Amino acid sequence: MLDKLKSLFDKKEKLIVGLISGTSRDGIDAALVKIRGSGGDTRIELIEFICVPYEEGIREGLEALTPQCSAAEISMLNFLIGDAFAKAVLRVIDESGTDRKLVDLIGSHGQTVYHNPPSRHEGTPSTLQLGELDVIAEATGVTTIGDFRTRDIAAGGEGAPLVPYADYILFMKPGDVRIAQNIGGIANASVITESVDEVTAFDTGPGNMLMDRVMSISTSGRKQFDKDGECASRGKADEKLLNELLADPYFMKPPPKSTGEELFGMERASALVSFVKRGEISLDDMIATLVELTVKSISLSYERFIFPNGRISEIIFSGGGCRNPVLMKRLRAEFNNIKCSTTDDYGIPSDAKEAVAFAILANELVSGNPGNLARVTGASHRVPLGKIVLGGL
């Protein structure tokens, strides 16, 4: 057993599958990545990337999760999601044409179902991601690393965002200061400096989460998101509602900070849908307002917490939000004096970056390196991230 771990630690080049299902809860992103080296010397090559939609039963189970759910419901969902993640691993390997036996490692973020960072000041700080690691390791035979967020929270941090260290590895350019702006369910910004010790990052607020939840509820699940921004393109933002949403205290709170379902999820979406059902606002106008909420919350975050610290040379966008042409047009207009690009311009599909990031974080753990940035998360110090579950012996 120890020999297996040692051989993994000693390998200079590894094939790693990175896995994540984000706050949109729509499916699993799986990236097969070749990684050589570690830390600042890391070099990556994306071999294959896929997104596997959740089966209806899992999606319904996630949507039904409430604080009143039983331990039995959570336990069973944990194993079901683990099985779904394992199938995604095998599929991405097979679609790449790679021999399954050549894959060294899996880095699984899992599916976040609860996140209570210290900054909320409510009860005991904690976080929970489903997708049982032992199920993944048993089904694939590959050593699996997961539960990346818990150690950072144990060290007094927010447990998020964790991707900034990977952003630094992927996009640091000497002499430049760049922003890596991910727009998943939640939007988060990493300010990438030449020195890793000066990198800052935080969740700017909602990305696609509110738009997706409102669309799903309003159409009784027939539409999970605003495809190609069709609704937003027909609608007009309601300035009064937008200003009320932007008045949320989260947007004024200085970093380190993180957020998620608890603030911009189903409960908030249901309240917004009630306005639509009462005829106070059309669905198109509501979606257009939520697009503007994402744009303005990102812009205001930059003005308050990033731009005062120096010039930004480039914003590199990633995440599902890049597929929304209305959202991207607004963001490019909002930052028309700064170079705007996407991770696609750097060889990583915008949907794939987060999965690639967790392959990198898995590699950092087995290389003996800490994976968090204490300045970003507010942890008392840098710590190793993740738990290791051995594959077939």
pLDDT digits over 141-181, tens only?
Answer: 999 999 999 999 999 999 988 999 999 999 999 999 999 99
The pLDDT tens digits for 210-254 are: 999 999 999 988 898 999 999 999 999 999 999 999 999 999 999
pLDDT at 377 over 80: yes
Which residues fall within 8 angstroms of residue 76, CB to CB, at 6 or more apart?
none
Task: Give yes or no: residues 88 and 27 share one domain.
Answer: yes
Task: Give yes or no: residues 127 and 171 share one domain.
Answer: no
Q: What is the pLDDT of residue 9?
A: 80
Task: Give yes or no: residues 147 and 179 share one domain.
Answer: no
Q: Is there a contact between 152 and 379 (Cβ–Cβ < 8 Å)?
A: yes
φ and ψ of 203, to 5 deg: -80, 125
Query: Could you give the CA distance from residue 80 to residue 83 in angstroms, rounded to a whole number?
Result: 5
Q: Is there a contact between 180 and 190 (Cβ–Cβ < 8 Å)?
A: yes
Q: What is the pLDDT of residue 187?
A: 95
393 falls in which pLDDT band (50, 70, 90)? Answer: low
The pLDDT tens digits for 34-63 are: 999 999 899 999 999 999 999 988 988 888
Q: What is the pLDDT of residue 102?
A: 96
Q: What is the mean pLDDT of residues 281-293?
A: 98
Q: What is the mean pLDDT of residues 82-102?
A: 97
Among the listed residues 9, 373, 20, the one whose alpha carbon sits nearest the alpha carbon of residue 199: 373
- Domain housing 117: 2-159+351-389
- Most confident range, picked from 20-29, 115-124, 158-167, 311-320: 311-320
Among the listed residues 353, 281, 285, 290, the one whose alpha carbon sits nearest the alpha carbon of residue 324: 290
**How many structural domains comprise the chain?**
2
Q: Is the dihedral of CA 324, 258, 109, 342 positive or negative?
A: positive
Q: What is the pLDDT of residue 113?
A: 87
Among the listed residues 263, 226, 184, 135, the one whose alpha carbon sits nearest the alpha carbon of residue 25: 184
The pLDDT tens digits for 310-328 are: 999 999 999 999 999 999 9
Q: What is the mean pLDDT of residues 277-297?
A: 97
Residue 391's Cα: distance from chain center in Å?
26
Task: Give yes or no: residues 78 and 152 share one domain.
Answer: yes
Q: What is the pLDDT of residue 270?
A: 94
Q: What is the pLDDT of residue 26?
A: 76
Which residues fall within 8 angstroms of residue 369, CB to CB, at 6 or more apart?
38, 39, 384
Which residues fall within 8 angstroms of residue 303, CB to CB, at 6 or more apart?
none
Task: Give yes or no: residues 278 and 175 share one domain.
Answer: yes
Task: Give yes or no: residues 249 and 307 share one domain.
Answer: yes
Q: What is the pLDDT of residue 2?
A: 67
pLDDT at 82 over 70: yes
Q: What is the mean pLDDT of residues 261-289?
A: 94
Q: What is the pLDDT of residue 261?
A: 81
Q: Is there a contact between 210 and 269 (Cβ–Cβ < 8 Å)?
A: yes
- CB count within 10 Å of CB 212 equals 24
Task: Give yes or no: residues 36 and 144 share one domain.
Answer: yes
CA distances from residue 364 to 1, 41, 101, 358 in whole angstroms, order as listed: 20, 11, 21, 10
| Residue scoring higher pLDDT (107 or 393) | 107
Could you tell me whether strands 144-146 and 200-206 are parallel, antiparallel, or unpaired per DSSP bridges?
unpaired
- The type of residue at 336 is N
Task: Give yes or no: residues 140 and 269 share one domain.
Answer: no
Give the number of C-alpha atoms closer than 13 A to the C-alpha of residue 229, restricted to the C-beta side: 19
Query: Could you give the CA distance from residue 254 to residue 250 in angstroms, rounded to a whole number?
Result: 9
CATH code for position 29: 3.30.420.40
Task: Give yes or no: residues 82 and 61 share one domain.
Answer: yes
pTM of the entire predicted model: 0.89
pLDDT, mean over the chain: 93
Q: What is the pLDDT of residue 341?
A: 97
Q: What is the mean pLDDT of residues 2-15?
A: 81
pLDDT at 22 over 90: no
Query: Could you give the CA distance from residue 166 to residue 174 in angstroms, rounded to a whole number?
Result: 16
pLDDT at 5 over 80: no
The pLDDT tens digits for 328-342 are: 999 999 999 999 999
Task: Give yes or no: residues 376 and 281 share one domain.
Answer: no
Q: What is the pLDDT of residue 24?
A: 66
92 falls in which pLDDT band (50, 70, 90)? Answer: very high
Task: Give yes or no: residues 152 and 169 share one domain.
Answer: no
Task: Give yes or no: residues 142 and 30 share one domain.
Answer: yes
pLDDT at 352 over 70: yes
Q: What is the pLDDT of residue 56?
A: 85
Helix extents (H) in 11-70: 56-63
Which residues fall within 8 angstroms of residue 356, CB to CB, at 6 or more apart?
18, 31, 33, 44, 46, 166, 170, 348
